[in-house]
A = this chain, B = another copy of it.
Amino acid sequence: MAYSITSLNELTAQFEKLPGIGKKTAQRLAFYVITAPEEYATRFASALTTARSKVHLCSVCQSLTDSALCGVCDDPLRDKSIICVVSDPKDVLAFERTREYKGVYHVLHGVISPLDGVGPEKLKIRELLARLSDGGVKEVIMATDPTVEGEATASYISRFIKPMGIKITRLAYGVPVGGDLEYADEVTLKRALDGRNEI
């Protein structure tokens, strides 16, 4: 094609790599950046590299942070004896939006999914068991997604925790089955927290 702009194509290609962004949308976004004030591109670029280089896993709960500890683990008012186990850092945000949960988290960074080649060793399960063996934890809430893989991951991990004599609970089926925790609304998540049952 005669009308081809190398640097614009490169930017479109980078947008296209984002999840849920197709070719037309990527092109539209790239054109927007080109025509927006120059300051926007500069700020966007620095936000990208800053966030990518600063954000790392919290050494305790494995969620994302740009400090030594994440805001939850670092908060003396949070109840360290309850750990809510989630599969994704975004799920922590979802729970925080309820403003109801006062315990801490543990992020697994995925669920066991043999078809995708994700075995238990790829998840932060070892780190969770290490936290539990330090003592002081009274309850573990298994808050993996209410999908087949999420359920399987929850029961897999529960087998290791049961012998430690720690109470294990699962979110109540207030959360819509087959859904994605990230999109659950605050009220549903609050109900799910309230109605949690011992496994």
Query: Are B2 and A64 in contact, with the CB atoms below 8 A?
Result: no
Give the docked Cα–Cα distance between A66 and B10 (Å): 12
Query: Are B50 and A10 in contact, with the CB atoms below 8 A?
Result: yes
Query: Are A11 and B71 in contact, with the CB atoms below 8 A?
Result: no
Query: Are A20 and B28 in contact, with the CB atoms below 8 A?
Result: yes
- A146 touches B (CB below 8 Å): no
- A156 touches B (CB below 8 Å): no
A27 to chain B, nearest CB (A): 7
Query: Are B38 and A53 in contact, with the CB atoms below 8 A?
Result: yes
List residues of A (94-130) whose CB comes within 8 Å of B's CBs.
96-97
Contact mask for chain A residues 66-97; partner B; CB cutoff 8 A; 1 contact, 0 none: 10001110010010000000000110110011
Query: Are B93 and A3 in contact, with the CB atoms below 8 A?
Result: yes
Query: Are B14 and A71 in contact, with the CB atoms below 8 A?
Result: no
Query: Are B18 and A29 in contact, with the CB atoms below 8 A?
Result: yes
Give the docked Cα–Cα distance between A25 and B25 (Å): 13
- Partner of A71 from the list B4, B38, B48, B52 (CB cut-off 8 Å) is B4
Segment touching B, from A39-47, A137-145, A162-170: A39-47
- A63 touches B (CB below 8 Å): yes
Give the docked Cα–Cα distance between A153 and B51 (Å): 44
A3 to chain B, nearest CB (A): 5
- A132 touches B (CB below 8 Å): no
Give the docked Cα–Cα distance between A3 and B74 (Å): 10
A-to-B contact residues, CB < 8 Å: 1-8, 10-11, 13-14, 17-21, 24-25, 27-34, 36, 38, 40-55, 63-66, 70-72, 75, 78, 89-90, 92-93, 96-97, 182-183
Query: Considering the complex of A and B, which 3 residue pairs feature the smallest CB-CB distances, nearest first?
Result: A41-B52, A45-B45, A11-B51
